[in-house]
Chains A and B, each alone.
Chain A
């Protein structure tokens, strides 16, 4: 009987691998949205305000006549810090409107960080409970959605936006969306 104890590590490992494989093969590309959200309108959500910053409203999104980005971030998230400089670049150099969703954060710290490093967001909405993020299907921070001019979600980027991503994905998609009608 005791001999079977020695199989416990192997069985645990096999279970883990099944989860990994599922993740790897089903969602082959983690940046693909579940099909429910892709090409849907940005959900009609209500946000809370962060300090002195403009409040993100759903009207903002739908009245804007150009493609835009929605970035989910938090002050406790290390990759967000690395991404931040690139968001500033998108805003300042490429004049792209970015909405921010502040996720499960300490509002004071969030405010401090924007104060210190600069604010790349046109307007910001606070999601303290994480419910809104669940509605959006956000899986971790940072995550970024690309919306077309009608406020439909057209692309989802998981993880920090790096220089490489700006060049290879974000800008080409934005240009394409702008040309499409």
Chain B
């Protein structure tokens, strides 16, 4: 019954979203404030209906209602509760439900926070949101309905791929979607600017926080996905350039560019057309991500079934949203007032180069991901692009970006006098080279390792130097303290994010360059030695989980006499699906990760295959990303963003001309 109610609410939600799209248009044509104002109420109603619908689907999962086809295919009564809940979005239909739930949440947030945005702009934005909402809700209802019943109902569900039962994997889609869908707001704002042919600096003030918010969520979401791959897939890697990973990485790159260009647009009232274009592209990448994963154009991965009719629907959506918005851009962007001029050597200039690099990087990833399709279309060869392509193209692109990032915050707006910062740059350069040479001298390393460590130190010193220089301009202690307190949060945010990038580069470089891998076979009592650490295989015991049997090994790890820890890698057997899996055990310390995978048992000799990875500084990857995300949050908490949503009462009455 609840399921049918949920189904009904979803159909109602479709009609509400169509109203949310159409009524503001009528309002503009008829100059009716009332019709415009309905968009706010539509967004409230849409949120309520979609939430109810989503909760009813979730209830079907929690109560293991196997008369619902989707639940029967994807859930199992023995699954732990948390995976029943997260299983809702572990499949195509459910993940789309999550998509529109997040979309409705964003529209709701905009309606509530944006009370002071001129009604005309706000209702155009909500109308575009309504169009997106109706397209996706229609997509769900007509091609991927999650509420269909099964006759006769199944007694037991058939869904679990044990590898997919992991908390990192289970919670990363909500974050990813909060990022993907957040970009719909910047998209809708851009459409509004193009329709009204005006993008002033107040406009960009509304857009920027949403770009920042989506970027932060995307960062967290991608990191969680990568963390899952690291912990669960069992071969010590954390990024595979898999099409699905790329699908989330492309919007991130575009959002990063958008974030930077919107700073210029806000501060200097220029680069507006470019910022709008980036907002359109970033959301298109989100749609493309959906398209790539679901349609079957690129069949690669992740346990989602693909279906050509869905592909056609998504293709049509892509044509409507991306094609439509780019056509609007081509027509109206030239009419936007062009902004202030600036010299190539200036903060603006540096950010433009940053934008070019990030766009090129996104294009590179796009090309690599779609290359098989192009080659297939152009020639008769069918090829596949692996990590080597991405590594050889992507890394060289990022090097100049990081070099630039080390000193561009020191440049002044409009026109920088290079002479003023020339000495500092040389100083930081020399110090970074010295430190790197010293490190490479003690531990040997290739040219790539040198480059990685150098870039990390360069960026770190550059960021820190810039910060202290600004703080230490105060003469007395009190003045310095005052400066520390009054230093804008958004500037702190930038420093944190850039330091995060530096920590990330260090972690990625060190953990790749100095990784040790040992593969061996051990009996109880055997000893493995890795980097001065002694691993003793002490015992093995049988264990039973909710839906598996396991061999659990105990490894005693002694770093020195007083520092002893234990690791318990598992080898699980899932009787329901006759599947064996390895659950790696990871000892994660600040400066290194020790990663043990227990393999198959050799029945004759009572030996176990074992693989051990030692990766120095691997945690710096996650710490770095956490810094980036924290930087985003700090910047969001800056007062000026709140102000931009509050102090516009005056404009309100001017809204309808």
Contacts and interface: CB of A to CB of B under 8 A. Distances in A.
Interface string B269-300: 00001000100110010000001000111111
Contact of B299 (A81, A130, A158): A158
Contact of B315 (A9, A21, A30, A118): A21
Contact of A109 (B235, B372, B384): B235
Interface in B291-344: 291, 295-303, 305-306, 308, 311-312, 315, 318-319, 322-323, 326-327, 329-330, 333-334
A30 B295 CA distance: 10
Contacts of B305: 162, 164
Given A76-B386, A82-B161, A164-B305, A10 B326 contact: yes
Nearest to A136: B382
A170 interface: no
A16 B303 CA distance: 26
Contacts, number: 162
A115 B607 CA distance: 12
Contact of B581 (A23, A78, A85): A85
B326 A23 contact: no
B235 A113 contact: yes
Given A17-B318, A92-B578, A9 B277 contact: yes
A76 B301 CA distance: 13
Contact of A3 (B311, B334, B374, B376): B334
Contacts of A82: 161, 163-164, 301-303
B382 A88 contact: no
A37 B354 CA distance: 47
A78 B582 contact: no
Contacts of A158: 299
Given A116-B609, A138-B382, A23 B319 contact: no
Interface range, A side: 35 or more
A75 interface: yes
Nearest to B328: A10
Which of A74, A116, A130 has most B Cβ within 10 Å? A116
Interface string A78-94: 11011001101100110
Nearest to A8: B330
Given A112-B611, A134-B381, A9 B329 contact: yes
A9 B577 CA distance: 48
Interface in B385-425: 386-387
A28 interface: yes
B386 A85 contact: no
A89 B300 contact: no
Interface in B125-141: none
B538 interface: no
B285 to A, nearest CB: 12
A13 B326 contact: yes
A138 B162 CA distance: 28
B191 interface: no
Given A78-B240, A115-B600, A116-B611, A14 B303 contact: no
Contacts of A74: 386
B73 interface: yes
B299 A159 contact: yes
A30 to B, nearest CB: 5
Contacts of B334: 2-3, 6
A149 interface: no
A85 B73 contact: no
Contacts of B315: 17, 20-21, 24
Contacts of A31: 299
Contact of B600 (A93, A116, A159): A116
A76 B387 contact: yes
A88 B372 contact: no
Interface in A120-138: 130, 133-134, 137-138
B370 interface: yes
A176 interface: no
Contact of A78 (B242, B333, B579): B242
Nearest to B297: A23
B165 interface: no
Contacts of A139: 372, 376, 382-384
Nearest to B237: A76
A62 B215 CA distance: 55
A180 interface: no
A160 B301 contact: yes
A159 B273 contact: no
A140 B297 CA distance: 12
Given A81-B233, A112-B519, A163 B577 contact: yes
11 contacts: A6-B334, A9-B280, A23-B297, A75-B235, A76-B386, A78-B301, A112-B611, A138-B382, A139-B382, A140-B384, A159-B306
Given A7-B330, A163-B161, 9 more contacts: A17-B319, A23-B377, A30-B299, A78-B233, A82-B301, A93-B578, A115-B599, A139-B382, A139-B383
Minimum-distance CB pairs A-B, first 9:
A116-B599, A85-B579, A10-B326, A159-B299, A140-B384, A79-B301, A139-B382, A7-B330, A158-B299
Interface of A: 2-3, 6-7, 9-10, 13-14, 16-17, 19-24, 28-31, 74-79, 81-82, 85-86, 88-89, 92-93, 103-104, 109, 112-113, 115-118, 130, 133-134, 137-141, 158-160, 162-164
Interface of B: 73, 158-159, 161-164, 229, 233-235, 240, 242, 273, 277, 280-281, 284, 291, 295-303, 305-306, 308, 311-312, 315, 318-319, 322-323, 326-327, 329-330, 333-334, 370, 372-374, 376-377, 381-384, 386-387, 519, 577-582, 597, 599-600, 609, 611
